[in-house]
């Protein structure tokens, strides 16, 4: 009997707290506070973005393309079966 009463008591406390939390987070007051906070962060972000310095692009022509594959092919020793497969006489 005592276990049932304790269970019912815990369940009722849980449901009451759940109702209070849901009621608070769905209230208009909380929604207004959240929107104020979001707009405040947005305003600060825009303000900081305006004072941000933009850098000049200095990455033109920094990639050097090498013809290593052709060098490797010319230095490599040809094998017998490669000569059989190839269509041209190299």
Query: With a threshold of 0.85, does the pTM exceed it?
Result: no
Domain count along the chain:
1
Domain presence at residue 74: no
**What Cα–Cα distance (Å) separates residue 54 from each residue in 40, 41, 65, 88?**
24, 22, 29, 55
Which pLDDT value is given to residue 75?
A: 77
At 78, list the tokens.
């040809």
Domain presence at residue 28: yes
Burial 62-80 (b: 16+ CB within 10 A, else e): eeeeeeeeeeeeeeeeeee
Domain presence at residue 65: no
Q: Which residues of the chain have pLDDT under 50?
A: none
Query: Which residue range(s) make up the domain with 27?
Result: 1-49
Domain presence at residue 9: yes
Domain presence at residue 11: yes
Domain presence at residue 17: yes
**What Cα–Cα distance (Å) separates residue 51 from each residue in 15, 29, 42, 75?**
50, 34, 15, 57
Domain presence at residue 71: no
């Amino acid at each position: 009997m005592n276990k049932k009463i304790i269970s019912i008591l815990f369940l009722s406390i849980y449901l009451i707290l759940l109702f209070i939390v849901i009621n608070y987070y769905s209230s208009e007051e909380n929604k207004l506070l959240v929107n104020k906070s979001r707009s405040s962060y947005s305003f600060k972000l825009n303000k900081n973005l305006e004072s941000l310095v933009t850098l000049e692009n200095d990455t033109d022509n920094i990639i050097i393309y090498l013809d290593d594959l052709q060098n490797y092919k010319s230095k490599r020793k040809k094998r017998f079966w490669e000569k059989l497969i190839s269509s041209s006489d190299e």
